[in-house]
Every structure is written in C-alpha cells, then in structure tokens.
Amino acid sequence: ERIRDLGIEIGVLPTGTLNSITDVAGVLVGHTTLVKGDSVHTGVTAILPHSGNIFQQKVPAAIYVGNGFGKLAGITQVNELGNIETPIILTNTLSVATAMNAVIGYTLNQAGNENVQSVNAVVGETNDGYLNDIRGRHINEEDVLKAIENASVGPVKEGNAGAGSGTVAFGFKGGIGTASRKLPESLGGYTLGVIVQSNFGGVLQIAGVPVGKELKQFSFSNKLLNNVDGSCMIVVATDAPLDHRNLERLAKRAFLGIAKTGGIVSNGSGDYIIAFSTAEANRIPYSTRDNLLKQEVVPNDQMSPLFMAAIEATEEAILNSLFMAEAVKGKPGRNIEALPLDKILPILKKNGVIKD
Amino acid sequence: ERIRDLGIEIGVLPTGTLNSITDVAGVLVGHTTLVKGDSVHTGVTAILPHSGNIFQQKVPAAIYVGNGFGKLAGITQVNELGNIETPIILTNTLSVATAMNAVIGYTLNQAGNENVQSVNAVVGETNDGYLNDIRGRHINEEDVLKAIENASVGPVKEGNAGAGSGTVAFGFKGGIGTASRKLPESLGGYTLGVIVQSNFGGVLQIAGVPVGKELKQFSFSNKLLNNVDGSCMIVVATDAPLDHRNLERLAKRAFLGIAKTGGIVSNGSGDYIIAFSTAEANRIPYSTRDNLLKQEVVPNDQMSPLFMAAIEATEEAILNSLFMAEAVKGKPGRNIEALPLDKILPILKKNGVIKD
Amino acid sequence: ERIRDLGIEIGVLPTGTLNSITDVAGVLVGHTTLVKGDSVHTGVTAILPHSGNIFQQKVPAAIYVGNGFGKLAGITQVNELGNIETPIILTNTLSVATAMNAVIGYTLNQAGNENVQSVNAVVGETNDGYLNDIRGRHINEEDVLKAIENASVGPVKEGNAGAGSGTVAFGFKGGIGTASRKLPESLGGYTLGVIVQSNFGGVLQIAGVPVGKELKQFSFSNKLLNNVDGSCMIVVATDAPLDHRNLERLAKRAFLGIAKTGGIVSNGSGDYIIAFSTAEANRIPYSTRDNLLKQEVVPNDQMSPLFMAAIEATEEAILNSLFMAEAVKGKPGRNIEALPLDKILPILKKNGVIKD
Amino acid sequence: ERIRDLGIEIGVLPTGTLNSITDVAGVLVGHTTLVKGDSVHTGVTAILPHSGNIFQQKVPAAIYVGNGFGKLAGITQVNELGNIETPIILTNTLSVATAMNAVIGYTLNQAGNENVQSVNAVVGETNDGYLNDIRGRHINEEDVLKAIENASVGPVKEGNAGAGSGTVAFGFKGGIGTASRKLPESLGGYTLGVIVQSNFGGVLQIAGVPVGKELKQFSFSNKLLNNVDGSCMIVVATDAPLDHRNLERLAKRAFLGIAKTGGIVSNGSGDYIIAFSTAEANRIPYSTRDNLLKQEVVPNDQMSPLFMAAIEATEEAILNSLFMAEAVKGKPGRNIEALPLDKILPILKKNGVIKD
C-alpha cells in the first residue's frame, strides 16, 4: 500500500488527484520491467514531459547534481540551453549508453526530425548490481523503446517496476515511487509531481520517525549496511511556468527531500534531480522563426510554495517507493526484504504518525 | 536547555565532549552581543579555525551556496584557492561590509602581515530586521574586533548571542546553536563540529516530529508566517584532513541538515555553508618556499561517515539555537516568543522522542 | 589616443557611436579619481544600468568568475536571483567593503526605499597596490557616492581614471577602457558595450601582434615581470533582452577577450565579468503585484553574434585602457610607464596592423 | 606540415620533444579512422593517461565546460570524485553512447576488474555531420576498442585522423591537432600536452593574424558561414602533480586557447576541456587499504606558468589540426577544402609571422 493508504501523511500541502507525477497534466510515464530467473532484476522507466514531439517542442529544464557519483547523460546541454529535448530515461548504471542509443534512434526516427543530426538524450541511473547481474547488461534498446511506448498518463506502477526492479534502499527493497502536491490557488494553484528511483542508504526516517535507528538497521551500524552507496534519481515536473534558473532552484529543494527520509547522500551515491516545466507557452521550438521568445515566468518571490511542494513530494515519493516494493530473491545469496511492516507500523503508531 | 538535556537525541552518532564546534581542537568562537533598548538586537559571532596567524597559515576550506539570497563575502576566493585566510564573521545583512573592513584591518595589523596587500575576509549574515533596527546599522568595526578578541575554546554561548541576537526561526526566536559529532575510531575517529545562525522558516520538525504542523504554525499557514525568508548561516569545522573538494561535499551535507528541521530554503533565504579543516599538516602557508605541498587527505570512499556527521550536527545545532533562545521584545510592535516548551514537550513525549 | 584613432581595428563587427559602454542606451558611468602625492593613486568607477531607482527596477544580470582570486561582492545573490539591484562599483581590493557600505547607504536613502532592509551591493576590484598605498585605504564612502553622482551618459574617461587610477597591465600603466559593438539588423541590431579595469599580466598582444614578446617584456621573462597577478574587472551591458542564463553565457565570452590581449588569467588574478541587460520590458520590479512576469528573450540560437561582439568589445576595451593610460610615479621606487608608442607603433606598422 | 615546420611560432614557452600530448610521459593516443565512399568520414580517438589498468589506478582529473551544447559523457563523476578511471574517447556526436558501451566493456573485461559494477566512461564528441552521414551511426564498439588498442606513445597522427576525420573549423577542414610545452626548471620543469578535435567557427586567427578577416571568410560574413556551430574537444595532460581543483583551473585556461585562434564559442558549439595529471604518486587506487592518501601538489601560486602553457599549447594544437588536415569530398554536395596555404602563407609573411 502507498503510505497515505496506511494513514501516513507527509507535510502540510494537499496532494494532486493521483498523488503522482502524472497529476501534472500531459506528463507520461512508462516502464519496462526485466526479471529473468533470480539473476536479472532490472528495467527501464521513461518519463515524457508531453505527448508531442519533444525535440521539436523542447521544455524548460534543469538538472541539479546532489552527488555526482553517477553516469547521468545529458546534463551539460540541459543546463547550458535550459531545456530538455527527449524523453527522460531511468535505468541501471551500466545501461545508460544503451538507453542513450535507443533515445537517439527514437528521436531521429520521429516524423519531423528527418534532418536532425544532434540529440541530447537524458538518461539517469542507479546501480542495481546487488540483486541484478548488472555486468550482464541485460537491457537492450528494445526495452528502452518499449518503456517509451508504454508511457501513459494515469496511475504509475511503483515499487519493483521498471528501473526500480532491482534497487535497494536503507537495506530494504526500494524502487519506483511517486507523489504530487497541488498548491492552493492563493499560492499559485500549480501542480508539482515527483518520481524517484530509490537505491540509497542512511538512517531510514518515516514521517520523521527514526525507524532505521529503532530497528538498529542503518548505515555503519554493522558491516552489512556499511555499503550505503547506491543512488537516488529524482524527476520533478510542474505546470508552473518556470525558466531554467528557477527550475534549478526547484531541483535543489527536491534534493532536500532525500534528507527527510534519512538519506545521507553518501560518497558513492549518484543523486541527481531533473526538473522541467510543462507550461505550454514556454516551450522552446526547435525551429524558431521569431527573433524573440515570449515567456511568462513565476517571479522569484513566489517560488517558495513550490519549493515546499518539491521537498514534500520527494519525501513522499521515496517512502512510496519503499512501501510499494516487494521482497526480491536476487543473485545467488542476495535476497532483499520488503519493509517489515509488522515491525514498522507499530513503531509508527506508537509515535503518533499513524493514528489509531 | 540544550535539546540533549531535555532527552532529545538526534541521529545515531555520538557527540563530542561539549557537543560544540569547539570540540574540534583549536577552533575558537567569540561573540559581541548588541542590545540597546527595544530596537537594537544584533551582534557579531567570530569563528577562528586556529589561534595562530590565519593569513600566514591558511586552512583548507570550501563554501557551498544553499540559496544565494545573501550577502556573504569571500566566497569566490575561498572556492578558487581552496582556503580561508581570516576569521569567519557572522553578523546582520547590512553590516557585512563593516565586518569586512574590521577583518581587513585586523589582518593588516597582525604581526607578520606588514606587507600584505590583499585580504579575503569571509563574512556571512542573516537578516535580523524583524526585531532589530537593521537600517540603523548599529554594528561598528570595534564590535567585530571584540568578537574576534573574545574568541575562545570551550563552551559556546547559544541562543540570543552574538549574530543570533535578533534572529527568528520558524516564527520563534532563533539564534546561535552548536553541536558536534565524534566518529568511532573504526570510521576514522574524526571530530566534526557545526555552528549555526538560524533565521529561517518552514515547518518546524524536532527530532522528526512535525511540531510546526501540530501547532498550526508554519510557513504559508497564515499571513503572519507567509514571510518565510531569513537565512541560515552554517559553519562546519573538522579535524579530518580534507581538501577543498571534499570540504565542499561536506558542506553540501550540512545543507541537508536544514531540511531535517523543517526548513524549506525559501526564495529569500540566504543559506550558506562554510566548511574548513583544521588538520595542521594541510595548512597552506602564505609564503611557500617549497615547490610542492605535501598533504594527507581522506579518500573519497571514507567520506560517508563524515557526511552523516555533518547532517546530524547541523540538525542538532539548529535545534539548540531554538531551544536556547529567549523571547525578545524588539522594534515597536515586534515581539518574538521563545519556543513554547509547555506545548512542545508534551508533543515530543507523546511522539516518543522524549522518553518518560 | 584610443586604438581606432591610431588605425588599429579589432574584429569584424562595427562599433557603436561612441565605441563605449554608454552606447547602450541608458547606461551611465562616473569616476572618482584619487591622486595625492606619489603614494595615492586609486579611485572609484560606478556603472549604472539605468538612471532610475535600480533597487525598485532591477535588471537581469549574471556574474561569471574567470578566476576567483578577488573580493568581488554580491555574486551569489546576482546569480541566484538573476538580477542586479544597485549601481556596480569598481575600486581597489581593500576598499570593497567601504564601497559596499556606500552603496547600501545610497540605496537605503533613495526615495521609495524607505522600508528596504536588504541590499545586494555589487562591487568589484583590482589591486592597485604596486603604485598605490593600498594599505592606507584612502577611499571613503563619499568618494564612492561621488562616482555614482558623477555618472552620466556620453563619452567615458579612460586610462588613469576612477578605479583605473593606479592599475598596471602587462608591466605598463593600465586602467579604465571601454568599447562597444552594434550588431547589424540582420543579426538582431543590438548594442553591446564593455568597460574594463585592467590590471593583469601575460604576453601583450595588440590586434594579434605579440608586442610583449617582441619587446621581450612578458610574464616570466624576467624577475620584474614574474608577478603577473593583478586582476581584470569587466562589465558588459547590452540592450538585447537576455535572461540570466544567456547573460552568464555572454559574460563567459567576454572572459575570452582577456586572452586575445595576451592575458593568461594568472593564479593571483581576480577576473570577473558582470553582464546585464537594459531591456526595459524585462526589468524586475521589487514589488510585484502580478503573479507572472512577462518577458521577451533572445533565443539561444541567436546568441552567437552577441558572443562575438562581447569578445571583440572586451579585447578593444582592454587595449583602449592601455593606450589611454599615462605614466605614473607611484609609491617610492615604483614608477610605471605608459605603453611605449615609439616602439610599439613601428611594430604594428611592420605587422600590417596599422596601414601606412 | 605542422605550423612550426612552416616557421610559425606560438607563444613564448618551449615545446616538448615531439610537440605533442605524448610528450607527457606515459600518455598514449590511438585512432580509428572511418572513411567509406564519400558519405562516411568519421572516427574515434582514444587518449590513455597511462598504460596500466586505469580503473584500478585512477588519475586526478577535471572537466571544464566551455559551452555545454554537447553530449560529453562522464563529467559529473569526474568532477565529484576528482578523477578519471577509463580511457578518454573522442568521436562524433551520435556515437557517444556506442563509445561508452565499448569503454564499459573494455573496463569490465580488464584483468583485475572482475567485480567491478560501475564504470564512468569519459567520452567527448564533435558533430561531423556536415561531411559525414552522422545519422547512419557508422561507429561500432569494435572501432572504439581498436582505437584503444592502437594507442601508443610517440608521434600522433593529426588532421583527418580518428575523431577528426570529418570535422570542419572556420569553414576549412579541421581535425585532430596536438602540441606541448615544457616549462623551464625554474618554473617547475613540468611538461603539458594538449590534443584537440577542432570543429568550430569564428574569425580564424593564425599567430594573431586575422586571416579569416583578410580572406573575408568568417562567421556571419555570409550565409555559408552563418552556421558557426560545431564544437571543440580539448584534452590536457600534464606530469605536474595537480589535484582536481587546480586541474579544473588549468582546463579553464585551455578554453582561452580557443579564443586565440579566433573561435567565438558559439551557441551550438560543445566546448569541453578534460585535464588530468599523470603524476604517479597521486594516482587514486580503486581499492584503498590506507585511511589517508598521501599527495604532493603544486601550490596555487606556482600554477601560472602551467596556465600559460595550457593556453599556448591549445592554440598551437588547434592550428596544427587545421594545417595538417586535407580537403574532403563528403556527403553529396558537401566538400570542404583544406586551409588555402597559397593564400595564407603570403599573408603570414606580410604580417611578419613567417620570416623570410
């Protein structure tokens, strides 16, 4: 169950209808999940800012590096030009290049892109090599294209889905999670959604309760958990009309959401936040006839509610990724349990997070 | 009382002896507190990496910008050269320049600096203008020099002291707070200390408990609190031998500590983290005879426990700043209460943070 | 004489009417020049993006750090919020704080700013301590205010003026220089102007000719010139409607202009480029009633001619600063000659830069 | 012929023996050149910091983004961890992913790397799509592996070789170029080498002489040349013991070398500089037993001669890439001439750059 179904609330702002990144109108998400025997637990998750030709109608975007131990592709062009021109792909560490090739092929082959000679694929990853035979590089280009084709509006499958198939967080099974916030009209009325691929360590906190500490299961508490590394990929979408600069600031707030779940952004964690705006008026056409782009942007001093929304939604998306994940029997000798709800729910009740 | 005296524990790592930045051997802290009538509530806090001539024996350092709505002086040189060459000063927003002039004078006048013609003063600030007549610019150079002279090892006065005299956090009186962590020998045995000047908003969380939400007193909950801006200055010291790059990474983790207290790093918040290493072997002499600097540095893959320590100590230092602060009657019509312990302690007990 | 009056042309783009930063409509420049006896050669130069209340009508801006060995004030807020809210001041290294205090006072006292409690003064500097008694800190707040008051449209005094009074470049007298470019209508028709405070070393190149090498007077060629440090402050103004992101990119191109004069951006050089747009439609009001800012911005793919203009104008402004400067008898034993035109002009003629 | 063979000298510092990046002891370079009919003109160039297992013995490194319109892979991890752990590959824009996959395979398969699950491939590119059928994506993993295998010390093939097979610079055939500088012992005695893949526009300057202007062939001079985009990849190697921070600063100086050839770093140019140190004592072992890394680093204030060397060698490497390139008949209707020496050499003689 998702955390709200269990009575756990994060923050003070209301969620969107689905409590999902797809509450941001137009955003699509698709998965390819690869499970073969015990040794293959990996996959691909695709996030599309809109259903049109993204290369022709780029979206304002920014990528913030929380901790750069990662292989994310596309960052320098996104931050130089301020936009994203392809679907965003999440996968495993050693499959970034394959995903790039797939995205490039996808873009070159789209109607209208016949003369395109340069494509900036945005691909993020976390390392699912604890459970998955990552060295086998089982993802192929078809898997990536299928995730793009699968992308749809509506509810997003969480937990062991897509790129979250084989990930581990806080020593438990992690995976894909999502959440959203809808600002009241007085604060702009914007919707902001987050999707995460959780695969990192620290001292698990659920709605503030130091569950990892109470379970005596946290980073550096024993040898098993000494390897806190892994990564957290975060994608933030909003319909607020933001330019690159304020999207970068927004992405930085999502980074703070990691901390609220107890993440410590360890040395070997590749923590990146990709943020984009779906505001149609601010799309950047590939071919501009006009000498000037007309834009409407949220002023700096109205950004803070969006910042709050990004922190809350990220925290909640990470928790959803854990609560929705299921135990996995992985590579020989590598099993990871799901969150032990039997132990955790009583702690949350005792601490007043779940009301009786 | 400090939070540990009330039975509130943050994180999983042990504190240093004093639970203070001054647990890092050699670090000195001094305050000048300026209170005149109701309208002047401001001050200066000086942090000295060591008691020698800092200009002649610079320390490895880095400054990370959490949110750049602030007037911090000295950042570009610290990050270009990787070191700090003066005492670090915290004060109010409109007194940064005065503090710089004082630090420059202090440095030019130190024995051994007779030929120095260039000084990079590091001065941070938060805006105490809600309580304090900040436009009156009451800090003068003497006040700054006094804070430097006052600097000492040992316990640090917290709350309404020095640069924390007039600050406000989460709608309550904030101020100066400090905390430290001592890593077990198996994780390096290093000490890390943090001092903060708290002056920001969000949804107050104490040891994870959403106290601000329970009190219905949080940013955007009502007009009074809509102004979430303010700032948080954080200084991190460690005896771990770190170079600029890993100090910058460490500073970024302290930034995460803000989030754990419920801070949202709002648009108008100037949130900066200054980190330095006191490791004597890595001091950077002003006049180098040698063609090479010999250094010993902690490898990347042993940084994570320090990262955890920085997050924990920052969270605890911010909470100490609130718990140690006292109500202030400020400018006409501007009163700020201390944390209402009568309401808060029961909440913390109910939530199991304070054990009966 | 300015270089064009000698027949020296830089680049391929036409200049503005005055070949000055003040060709950008509305930009004002003012100097205070301080010369007292032999030992005081310093000053202040103020650049105002427009003649109104800059705090109330901020301009889009960015600051790029070429080399951060410098004490420039205001950078983090400019880059976080994307705008400048005060006059830009250039002065000497040890007078930055004094200039900040003057700018803060100026802003607090402007009509309409009665409730302002936070001011981000932008102050740059180079170190004129070779000729000037910089440790004497002879600049006072009045000097800074006078430079602001003196600011006017029209021709700008170059050479030993204002903040260029005591600076040294390539071993010769440097100072203030300016230049501009006017793009043809087919490339946007925009005007771009640059003003520099030159105080750095390397191997002087004039319109490409390695004059420093021919004169055997360049960095590391002998002990006298081994100290290549100093700094170069550059301010770029344009009427092109650019946002922060493209202003930062533009600033980076001005950085390239230093290289074209033979500058090597040495370790001890504080090289910063401040860029702003004067486009009125994109001003950022301090008090926004609207929930959205409407902007018109130049698209990425029309930026390149502006980039070319920034490189050319910076190169030319630096050369003008040298050609317009005059010999100075400075602190005891410290004399710096002007460019030796008797030796240089024949070289330039021989190399075809000056046509007979 | 290389420019020095024609009598053209750049700068004031002496070159290394080969005037090549391979003057830095241990550095290896290899090419795979792909030419098929008229439509395929592309390739791969591999640069290896040393001949050992680079993953196990990483080298200190940094990557500086001149202009981020490019698809360079690996940047965030290089800059976060301060090192490079694979061969550096240059290729065409749409083949970055294929090169990554090849480098990952190469690394996973190296003896000693049997348990490696995470590889940060560093791959740069420029767009050779004017001459080359880039959409055909003709590079395969074998081509990349062959370039690595081909890598050797000694002279480097320049011009239409490897990744420079199909590139265009200043409207002429560009390609691979290299150069080096050897500092005098009094300035450290270090060797610094540069290799470039030139594919960009501007106003060609040769040893300062504005040849592009004299030929009336420069960016924006006519429609043909309006497309100034392309990119310049630069790799800088040095035996000076530098850490990440000073390597990043060094890389920034190489960026200045582009400007000295007349490059304007246009909007669509992907200009990146990858710098690494070969100093053996500062290698970073993958598996560290020690709790501290012992390093020797060049102090900040001895960096300037290396900065000068980086600027000079980059300028010269770019010019070598042009002078060594040959005319190419590319895709239908797409021919690019080599530099017209018959026109250019007389200009250089007239301007005194080539002495009679």
Going by C-alpha positions, the residue among D256, D252, D170, D168 that lies closest to residue D205 is D170
**What chain A residue is nearest to B306 in terms of C-alpha separation?**
A266
Q: What would the mean pLDDT of D308-327 be, rounded to a whole number?
A: 98
Of B119, B127, B134, nearest to C94 by CB-CB distance is: B119
D264/C259 Cβ within 8 A: no
Give A56's contacts in chain C (Cβ within 8 Å).
none
- C355: nearest CA partner in chain D: D351
Indicate the pLDDT class of residue D26, thresholds 50, 70 and 90. very high
Residue A184: band (very low, low, confident or very high) from pLDDT cuts 50, 70, 90: very high
Nearest to D76 among A68, A97, A116 (CB): A68
Tell me how many residue pairs between chain A and chain C have CB atoms under 8 A apart: 62
| pLDDT recorded at residue B220 | 87
In a domain, A10, yes or no: no
Q: Would you give the DSSP letter of residue B326?
A: -
Listed in sequence order, the residues at least 6 apart from D269 whose beta carbon sits closer than 8 Å to its beta carbon are D66, D67, D69, D70, D200, D201, D228, D229, D230, D231, D232, D263
Q: Are the Cβ atoms of C135 and B80 closer than 8 angstroms?
A: no
pLDDT of residue B290: 80
Contact list in D for residue C352 (CB cut-off 8 A) is 209, 350-352
| B293 domain residue, yes or no | no
Looking at residue A236, what DSSP letter applies?
E
Q: In chain B, which residues have their Cβ closer than 8 Å to the Cβ of D242?
A: none
pLDDT at B318: 98
D46: CATH: 3.60.70.12
Which member of B71, B118, B135 has the closest CB to residue C77?
B71
Q: Specify the 3-state DSSP secondary structure of D176.
A: strand
Tell me if residue C269 is catalytic.
yes
Of B67, B260, B268, the CB nearest to A259: B260
Reported confidence tier of residue B96, pLDDT bands at 50, 70, 90: very high
Does residue C107 sit within a domain? yes
Chain D residues with CB within 8 Å of chain B CB:
80-82, 188, 241, 243-245, 249, 284, 288, 290-302
Chains adjacent to B (≥3 CB pairs closer than 8 angstroms): A, C, D
Q: CB–CB of D307/B313 below 8 Å?
A: no
In a domain, C141, yes or no: yes
Q: Considering CB atoms only, which of C71, C117, C137 is closest to B127?
A: C117
Q: What is the DSSP letter of D206?
A: B
Whole-number pLDDT of residue A47: 98
Distance from CA of C353 to the nearest CA of A (A): 36
- Whether B292 sits inside 8 A of D291 (CB atoms) is no
Range of the domain at C13: 3-287+301-350
Instruction: Label residue A226 by pLDDT band (50, 70, 90).
Output: low
- Two tokens, residue D189: 């005695």
- B234, part of any domain: yes
Interface test with D, best of C9, C187, C267 (most D CBs within 10 A): C267
pLDDT, tens digit, 9 for 90 and up, residues B245-304: 999 999 999 999 999 999 999 999 999 999 999 999 999 999 877 889 999 999 999 999
- Judge: C73–B75 Cβ closer than 8 Å, yes or no: no
What's the mean pLDDT when you consider all of chain B?
A: 96
pLDDT mean over C163-174: 96
The reply to whether residue A71 touches residue D77, judged by beta carbons under 8 angstroms, is yes
The H or E element containing residue D341 is: helix D341-350
Q: Which residues of B touch C127 (CB under 8 A)?
A: 117-118
Task: Report chain A residues whose CB lies below 8 A from the CB of D134.
Answer: 117
CB within 8 Å: A129 and D135: no
Q: What is the pLDDT of residue B223?
A: 53
| Residue B246 maps to a domain | yes
Rounded Cα distance between B117 and B119, Å, is 7
**With an 8 Å Cβ cutoff, are C258 and D256 in contact?**
yes
What residue ranges in C3-160 does DSSP mark as E strands? 28-36, 40-48, 57-68, 83-84, 88-92, 122-126
ipTM associated with this complex: 0.98
Q: Report CB contact under 8 Å: A100, D104.
A: no
Closest residue, chain B, to A187 (C-alpha): B220
Residue of D nearest to C268 (CA): D301
CB atoms < 10 A from the CB of B155, how many?
A: 12
For residue B135, the model assigns a pLDDT of: 97
Q: D94 in helix, strand or coil?
A: helix
Q: Which chain B residues contact residue A268 at CB under 8 A?
A: 301, 304
> Do the domain assignments include residue A315?
yes
What local confidence, expressed as pLDDT, does residue C22 receive?
98
| Number of domains observed in the structure of chain D | 1
pLDDT tens digits, one per residue of D179-231: 999 999 999 999 999 999 999 999 999 999 999 999 999 988 865 555 657 89
- Choose, out of C78, C84, C117, the residue to mutate when testing the contact with B (most B CBs < 10 Å): C117
CB B72 within 8 A of CB B270: yes
Q: Percent of chain D, pLDDT > 70?
A: 98
Q: Which residues of A are catalytic?
A: 231, 269, 271
User: What would the two tokens of residue C233 be?
Assistant: 């402050």
User: What are the beta bridge partners of residue A31?
Assistant: A45
Burial classification of residue A114, based on how many CB atoms lie within 10 Å of its CB (0-12 exposed, 13-18 middle, 19 or more buried) = exposed
How many angstroms separate the CA of residue C55 from the nearest CA in chain A?
15
What amino acid positions of D are annotated as catalytic residues? Answer: 231, 269, 271
Identity of the residue in A65, A94, A120 whose CB atom sits nearest the CB atom of D76: A65
In chain D, what residues touch B299 (CB-CB under 8 Å)? 284, 288, 290-293
pLDDT at B2: 98
Calculate the average pLDDT of chain D. 96
- Cβ <8 Å between D296 and B295: yes
**What whole-number distance in Å separates Cα of residue D87 and Cα of residue D48?**
5
Which of B76, B97, B118 is opposite residue C100, by nearest beta carbon? B97
Contact B297 D295 (CB under 8 A): yes
Q: Nearest chain B residue to C94 by CA: give it.
A: B118
Give the model's confidence band at B19: pLDDT under 50 very low, under 70 low, under 90 confident, else very high.
very high
pLDDT tens, A144-176?
A: 999 999 999 999 999 999 999 999 999 999 999
The answer to whether C102 and C145 have CB atoms below 8 angstroms apart is yes
- At D289, is the pLDDT very low, low, confident or very high (cuts 50, 70, 90)? confident
Which site among A126, A127, A135 would you substitute to test the D interface, given the most D Cβ atoms closer than 10 Å to its Cβ? A135
User: CB atoms < 10 A from the CB of D51, how many?
Assistant: 12
Residue C23 above 60 pLDDT? yes
Distance CA D214, CA D217 (A): 8
Considering CB atoms only, which of C70, C80, C101 is closest to B77? C70
* Residue C250 Cα, gap to closest chain A Cα (Å): 12
Per-residue pLDDT tens over the stretch D117-140: 999 999 999 999 999 999 999 999
From A219, A264, A353, select the one nearest B205 (Cα to Cα): A353
- Is residue D307 within 8 Å of residue D185, measured between CB atoms? no
- Tell me how crowded residue D19 is: count the other CB atoms within 10 A of its CB: 25
Say what the pLDDT of residue B221 is. Answer: 83
Whole-number pLDDT of residue C199: 97
pLDDT of residue C287: 81
pLDDT at position A225 over 80: no
Structure tokens at C260: 């074209």
Structural domain contains residue A334:
yes
Contact A117 D96 (CB under 8 A): no
- C226 pLDDT more than 70: no
CB–CB contact B301 A268 (8 Å): yes
C·D CB contacts under 8 A: 119
* pLDDT tens readout for residues A233-288: 999 999 999 999 999 999 999 999 999 999 999 999 999 999 999 999 999 999 87
Distance between CA C229 and CA C41 in Å, rounded? 18
Q: Which residues of A touch D79 (CB under 8 A)?
A: 68
Q: Given an 8 Å threshold on Cβ–Cβ distance, is C187 in contact with D253?
A: no
